[in-house]
Structures are given as structure tokens and as C-alpha cells.
């Protein structure tokens, strides 16, 4: 099959599927506000609708799907959706979670057919966790990570958003923690996405600064060759340990970006920063055939010119993408709606 290419020759391979916009944490870089405008429940796609869309996406070349949110484990009966998606011809079926509810669900996720798990873990310190998330759930996250390992998720990844003055002193302990439990840590530069209304450039710890600090402690760091279009660059430490960095702010990877995002209510966005998306729920519920859906997806992808992170990096003065009142009017701009 010829890959479906966008305007810049980037294939459609990767779908991030948000299953809910709700969350049980309030991370300061994602959901800092006091209250939120949620997607209406009746707009949220059913598992059958999601599975049908995924079948059309896979026919067009998508072979990697990642479930996300909001917090995906807040969606009731999620293993049922995973069991449906596990029947699709996917090279990779993964999920990103904050880990709070993992102890309850890890085993069911595994037996439903989920391939891989990424748990967000920004700190090893319960007090910093409480400050960052406005919730007191650090111990539950650590227990969740243990439960994921016990359930057999071998290729565990830990995602850490690094913020100057908050958790940037924890780079070394986090790498050591990852090594101890057999998980790879990926440090993410703090992004100026929708939801990050308190973002400031001087809060971003750059890829270069992270590498410097880690090299000071561990010794010379070697860059590992890239294997696919994944955003994380991977590095090896002198002792053989590895870690990743996602440098979306200082080194955007738009040139190879093969991913699109579907919100829980069926809006399809071609970029994390895109202002407008395609309303797939409307098409689905108006009785579109698979061929109609495939036609709409293919037409949108062929015209795709988005390279949002590069455009942001080119701005002379960088401020948060959107202020809180605009996010309330356009909740689809929110990171917790778009799925990160
Ligand atoms: N609730 C789940 C979780 O936190 O893992 C999944 C959804 S969350 C939106 C997906 C990822 O986006 C998380 O790893 C989170 O740390 C990351 N994220 C959210 N806001 C971010 C920001 N402003 N900069 C960088 N990463 C961010
Ligand atoms: Fe934090 Fe994820 Fe919830 Fe955003 S969606 S507030 S990153 S746990």
C-alpha cells in the first residue's frame, strides 16, 4: 500500500486517541485553572464509534495508536475498548496515563491486549507532586508503576515534564529510579500548549541544559541512532543505562511528524497546536460510510501543512498559546482535551 502523504511528504501512521477530557489530577502545566468547560457527555464517542474510526485509519496506513486523555483510566470499562482495538492490525497499541488508577486496572489492560504503557512521573518527592498536581496521590502513582510491572508491561516508559525551579533538580534521581525498576525515563521540555497558561520561556529547561546536567553526574553521554519518527531522542550513559529527551520547544520535530489527534468527541486535529479540526463525530452520526470517512480523512491529510512547534519556535516573543478565557470558549484547544 502506498502511504498517504501530507503536503510535506509526511505519512499518516500515528493516532493519539483521547478517550476522555476529564482528569483526576490538576497538573500546573496542563490544568492550572479552578474550573473547566467539559465536553458534553452525549458528544463523547462510544467504543464502537472509536473502533470504527480506527478501522478506517488503519486502512489508510495508521499502525500506531496511543490512548490518552485527560486521564484515560477515568473512562469506564476501558479494557473493552482495548480488546476491540487489539483486533486491528496495529504494530503498536499503547497508553499514556498518570498512573493514579493503575493498581486497579493494570492486569485487565494487559489481558485486554494493550502492548505498552507510559506513566507520567514528574517527581519522586510527594510534596513536589502535591504542589504540581494539586492532589495527594504520589504513593498511588508509585504503586501503579509497580502494578504495571507486575502485570507484565516490560517496556515501561516514564514521562517527566521538566520545569525550572520545580523538578529540574531531580533529573539524576529520576534516571536512577528508572534504571532500578527497568523503565526508561523521557524528559519532556515544558511546552507552551493550550492549557499551559502559566508557561514562560524561562521555565523551560532545554535539551542542552538537561544533557549538561546529566553528563556532569554520569559522565559522557552518547546519542543513540533514531529508529523511527518518534519524538524522543534516546541517549546512553557510560554504565549502559538509557533515557530520552523530547525537545519540542528548542528542537521541534515537525519535519517528521506522522501523528494526528482525535479528541474524545471525535474532532480530528492534524497538529498539537492546530486551531481547527475535522468533525468526525458529525460524519459518523450522519451515517457516513467507511468510504466517505476514508475520503474525508485522506483529503484532509493530503492538505496537511501544519508544523505548529516550528512556527511557535520562530516567534519573536513567546507567550502561552491561549489565555484561560479563550480556552473556556474553545475547550478543544486544551492539552487535556487534545491528549498531549
Ligand atoms: N493524563 C495522562 C498523563 O498525564 O499521562 C495522559 C494525558 S497528558 C495530557 C499526556 C502527556 O502530556 C503527559 O505526559 C503530560 O505530562 C504531557 N503534558 C501535558 N502538558 C504539557 C506541557 N505543557 N508540556 C509538556 N508536556 C505536557
Ligand atoms: Fe496531568 Fe495528564 Fe491530567 Fe493533564 S491530563 S492534568 S498532564 S494527569
pLDDT given for residue 152 in this prediction: 96
Which residue from 131, 138, 42 is spatially nearest to 98, judged by alpha carbons? 138
Helices (H) and strands (E) in the chain, counts: 12, 12
pLDDT given for residue 340 in this prediction: 83
Nearest-ligand number for the alpha carbon of 26: 2
Residue 227 pLDDT greater than 80, yes or no: no
Please state the pTM of the whole predicted model. Answer: 0.96
Q: Name the band, by pLDDT with cuts 50, 70 and 90, for residue 226.
A: confident
Choosing from 308, 335, 336, 339 the residue with most ligand 1 atoms within 8 A of its CB, the one to mutate for a pocket test is 335
pLDDT given for residue 316 in this prediction: 86
pLDDT given for residue 180 in this prediction: 96
Residue 323 pLDDT greater than 80, yes or no: yes
If you take atom 8 of ligand 1, which residue's CA is the nearest one? 340
Ligand 2 centre from 4 Cα, in Å?
Answer: 32
pLDDT given for residue 155 in this prediction: 85
Q: Across the beta sheet with 14-18, what order do the strands follow?
A: 222-223, 233-236, 242-246, 184-189, 157-162, 116-120, 92-97, 64-68, 14-18, 259-262, 267-269, 278-279
Give pLDDT tens digits for 265-283: 999 999 999 999 999 999 9
pLDDT given for residue 92 in this prediction: 97
Choosing from 336, 338, 339 the residue with most ligand 2 atoms within 8 A of its CB, the one to mutate for a pocket test is 336
pLDDT given for residue 181 in this prediction: 95
Amino acid at each position: 500500500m502506498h502511504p498517504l502523504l501530507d503536503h510535506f511528504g509526511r505519512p499518516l501512521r500515528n493516532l493519539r486517541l483521547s478517550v476522555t477530557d476529564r482528569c483526576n489530577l490538576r497538573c500546573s502545566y496542563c490544568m492550572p485553572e479552578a474550573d473547566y468547560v467539559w465536553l458534553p457527555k452525549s458528544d463523547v464517542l462510544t467504543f464502537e464509534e472509536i473502533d470504527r474510526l480506527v478501522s478506517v485509519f488503519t486502512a489508510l496506513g495508521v499502525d500506531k495508536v496511543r490512548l490518552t486523555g485527560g486521564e484515560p483510566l477515568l473512562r469506564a470499562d476501558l479494557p473493552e475498548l482495548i480488546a476491540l482495538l487489539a483486533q486491528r492490525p496495529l504494530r503498536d497499541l499503547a497508553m499514556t496515563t498518570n498512573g493514579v488508577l493503575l493498581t486497579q486496572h493494570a492486569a485487565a489492560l494487559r489481558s485486554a491486549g494493550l502492548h505498552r504503557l507510559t506513566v507520567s512521573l514528574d517527581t519522586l518527592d510527594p510534596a513536589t507532586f502535591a504542589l504540581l498536581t494539586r492532589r495527594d496521590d504520589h504513593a498511588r502513582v508509585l504503586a501503579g508503576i509497580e502494578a504495571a510491572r507486575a502485570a507484565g508491561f516490560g517496556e515501561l516508559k516514564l514521562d517527566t515534564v521538566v520545569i525550572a525551579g520545580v523538578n529540574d533538580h531531580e533529573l539524576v534521581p529520576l534516571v536512577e529510579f528508572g534504571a532500578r525498576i527497568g523503565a526508561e525515563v523521557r524528559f519532556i521540555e515544558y511546552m507552551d500548549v493550550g492549557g499551559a497558561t502559566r508557561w514562560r520561556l524561562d521555565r523551560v529547561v532545554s535539551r542542552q541544559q538537561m544533557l549538561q546536567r546529566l553528563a556532569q553526574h554520569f559522565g559522557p553521554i552518547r546519542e543513540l541512532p533514531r529508529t523511527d519518527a518518534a519524538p524522543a531522542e534516546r541517549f546512553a550513559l557510560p554504565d549502559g543505562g538509557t533515557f530520552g529527551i523530547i525537545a519540542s520547544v528548542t528542537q521541534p520535530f515537525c519535519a517528521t511528524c506522522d501523528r494526528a489527534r482525535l479528541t474524545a468527541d471525535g474532532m480530528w486535529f492534524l497538529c498539537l497546536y492546530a486551531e481547527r479540526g475535522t468533525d468526525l463525530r458529525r460524519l459518523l452520526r450522519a451515517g457516513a460510510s467507511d468510504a466517505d470517512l476514508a475520503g474525508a480523512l485522506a483529503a484532509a491529510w493530503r492538505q496537511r501543512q501544519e508544523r505548529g512547534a516550528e512556527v511557535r519556535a520562530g516567534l519573536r516573543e513567546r507567550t502561552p498559546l491561549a489565555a484561560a478565557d479563550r480556552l473556556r470558549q474553545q475547550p478543544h484547544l486544551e492539552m487535556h482535551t487534545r491528549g498531549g
